[in-house]
Structure formats: structure tokens, C-alpha cells
Amino acid sequence: MKSAILGAACLVLCATAANAATATGGSFGALADGTKIDSVTLANGAGMSVRIITLGATLQSVIVPDKQGRKEDVTLGYDKAQDYLTRPNYFGVSVGRYANRIAKGKFSLDGKTYTLATNDGPNSLHGGAKGFDKRVWKIDAMSSGADAKVTLSYVSADGEEGFPGQMRATVTYTLNEKNELRLDYGATTSKPTVVNLTNHAYFNLSGNAARDVMGHLVTLKAERFTPVDATLIPTGERRPVAGTPFDFRKATPVGARIRDARDTQIRLGRGYDHNFIVDGKAGDLRTAAIVEDPVSGRVMEVRATAPGIQFYTGNFMDGTFFGKNQRSYRQGDAICLEPGVFPDAPNHPDFPSARLNPGQTYVNSMVFAFRTK
């Protein structure tokens, strides 16, 4: 009898422990035009929680414990939905239809040339004037359990922003009990098109952007990177990182070589704003980067299936806009690590292809795994 009661108690408790990750819906206010924006918070029993909002399927906050157990936000962002439209920084957004640049806003597929809006000097950036980051996505499913999950989708019309084919894009955010946040991007199309979906989170592991990231140690599992021209379009070269400020094969402080103006690529990027070619086989979820903040003890490992990862040090942030908790963000206040195909791949036949055909399913998966040291 006694053991039956204990058994029943264990059933309840064990079920609670095994189902500790929760997905909870909420509101994130409204845009200036009155459009309501919803939120979903994924939380686990290990002290981590993340908030996703329907505007841009954006990762609005990532709260992670430091080595002392202090729970703080490790991403930049805004408190108000409208700021994501007014301020062009792509904080935590889902970028599409094509993350990063397409030279002169033009590319050809099967002999036909497509013209996109040029919203970054002579080039198209992050899907054009109104990319996926500025669209309101739909929440398709959310669930609590051993993992907490939410899936959002956005249907982009044939010809939207100049891209061919109706595209259905999805992203599933999954938080588990190991403090791993996984993002699975997917897409299908009605006509041959190009696609590069990724997340543009700006990480600062100090917590609430207390300090800049120059002392963060970065490891990039990349033997080579793709140098750029003056408009940040890849030249086509795949340059070995050895002997350059781009060698992060061993953990190195972000700030150690960021001002080394002897290197033309540092000059052109105003620091780091480059695609690194991730070692190993694209398609395998492999470690691409490790970031460590020695002060807070927070460590983030990025695993990715993509062939490349854009490493950007917030070089365009100039202190003229204010993020969460009335914090002013400046150059070097965050690290972006955006897994994807290479910038301008549609104009480089020898880069891994960004083409998607009807009947195929595009997949881009990444994991941001947190621990302390």
C-alpha cells in the first residue's frame, strides 16, 4: 500500500520534472497601425527562457543564468514592437527571403533576370525593403513537454520584393532542458527561386549589454573566409584565415585584432562583417562557433548545418538608438553569428547553391547551446 502511494507520488513528481519545459502565449503590444503582435515564451527548468514575437518571427529575448546563477538577457532588442520597424538593425529577426546581400539587387535563374530593391547602397540587403523581418508571422503550433516548442510561418507572394515563386517559410524554435535553443528554418516554393533564411540575433553574454563584447573569446571552426569588396559583396575568393586577423581557430578576444588596419578586409568591414566557411560537411549539424565571456562565465556554442556563418560585430551601431531597458547600443556591443549560404551566392555559381525548386524542402538548422564555465 505504502509503496503504491509512493509510486503514485513519483508518477506526479517525475512527470512534472520530465515535462518542465513550457510554451506560454502572450501579447507584445501593437504596431503604430494597430496590428497586434503576439509573443510566445519558452522556458525550461534549468533557468533559461526565450521570447519569440510574431513580428519577423523575432527572437526578442534570451535569458540565461551566469556562473553565479544570475538570469540576464544575452541578446539586443527592443521593448516595443514598432521599434523593430522603425530602427533598421535586424535584432534577433528571422531574415528572408535572402539573408545578407545580393549584388546590385540582381540575379538570374534559368536565363531570366530578377530585380530586387536596392536598400543598402547599390545592393539588396536582407530580403529588400520589406523582408520577412518586417512581416507578421502566424503561430502554427506550440507545445510544452520534455522540450518547449513554437512553430511560426509566413507565406510570401509570388513576386514579393522581386523574388519569383510563392514561398511558404517556417521556423520552429525548440528549447530543451540542456539550455539548448534550436532553430529549424524551412521553406517550399511554387517556382524556382533563391532562399537564405537565418536568424540575426545579436549576442552579448555579459548580460543586459552591461559591457561591450571586445573581451568575449571567440572560436570559429573555419579555415577560410570569403573576402569582400567595398560594398561588402564577396569577391569570390576563399581565403585561408591563417596569418590574418580572421584566424579564430583558437579562442581569441574579439577586440584583439579588430583595429588592425593593415588588413584591408578589417578596413572594408569596419571590423568583422564577413562570411566564414564552416569546416566539415554542410548538412551536418556541426560546431561552427564558440563564444565565451570570461567575466560572467557564460559560454555559447553555435552548431549549424549551413555551409557558412556571417560573423558581424555590430559595426553599424552608432549609439543613436536605444534598446531594451533604455540601453544605448554602440559599435562592438554584440556579436552576430548567422548561419546560412554565402552572401550573394545567386551571383556566384561556384558558391554552395541558394536555389530552391518546387517539390524540394529547404532546411537550415542551428543550435545556440548555453553553459557556464
Tell the residue number behind the cell numbers 513550457, with chain if given.
Answer: 22
Shortest separation between residue 59's beta carbon and ligand GLA, angstroms: 15
Contacts of 188 (CB under 8 A, 6+ apart): 167, 168, 356, 358, 360, 361, 362
Question: Catalytic: 338?
Answer: yes
In this structure, are strands 362-372 and 180-189 parallel, antiparallel, or unpaired? Answer: antiparallel
Comparison of 265 and 296: residue with beta carbon closer to ligand GLA: 265
**From 78-86, 190-198, 241-249, 310-318, span contacting ligand GLA (CB under 6 A):** 310-318
Q: Which is the catalytic residue, given 72, 126, 160, 200?
A: 200
225 forms part of the interface with ligand GLA (CB under 6 A): no
Shortest separation between residue 270's beta carbon and ligand GLA, angstroms: 9
Comparison of 61 and 310: residue with beta carbon closer to ligand GLA: 310
How far CA 320 is from CA of 32, 67, 76, 209, 229, in Å, comes to 21, 32, 14, 16, 27
The one-character DSSP state at 255 is: G
Comparison of 336 and 366: residue with beta carbon closer to ligand GLA: 336
273 forms part of the interface with ligand GLA (CB under 6 A): yes
**Near ligand GLA by CB under 6 A: residue from 312, 351, 362, 368:** 312
Comparison of 48 and 213: residue with beta carbon closer to ligand GLA: 213
The phi-psi region of residue 140 (left if phi > 0; otherwise alpha if psi is between -120 and 50; otherwise beta) is alpha
313 forms part of the interface with ligand GLA (CB under 6 A): no
**From 148-156, 190-198, 309-317, 321-329, span contacting ligand GLA (CB under 6 A):** 309-317
336 forms part of the interface with ligand GLA (CB under 6 A): yes
Contacts of 186 (CB under 8 A, 6+ apart): 169, 170, 171, 172, 361, 362, 363, 364
- Residues of 194-229 as b/e, b for ≥16 C-beta within 10 angstroms? bbbbbbbbbbbbbbbbebbbeebbbbbbbbbbbbbe
**Near ligand GLA by CB under 6 A: residue from 316, 318, 357, 363:** 316
Question: Catalytic: 348?
Answer: no
* Count of chain residues binding ligand GLA (CB under 6 A): 10
Tell the residue number behind the cell numbers 552548431, with chain if given.
Answer: 303
Return the biggest CA–CA distance within the chain: 78
Residues with catalytic annotation?
Answer: 200, 338
Question: Applying CB under 6 A, which residues contact ligand GLA?
Answer: 89-90, 100, 125, 232, 273, 310, 312, 316, 336
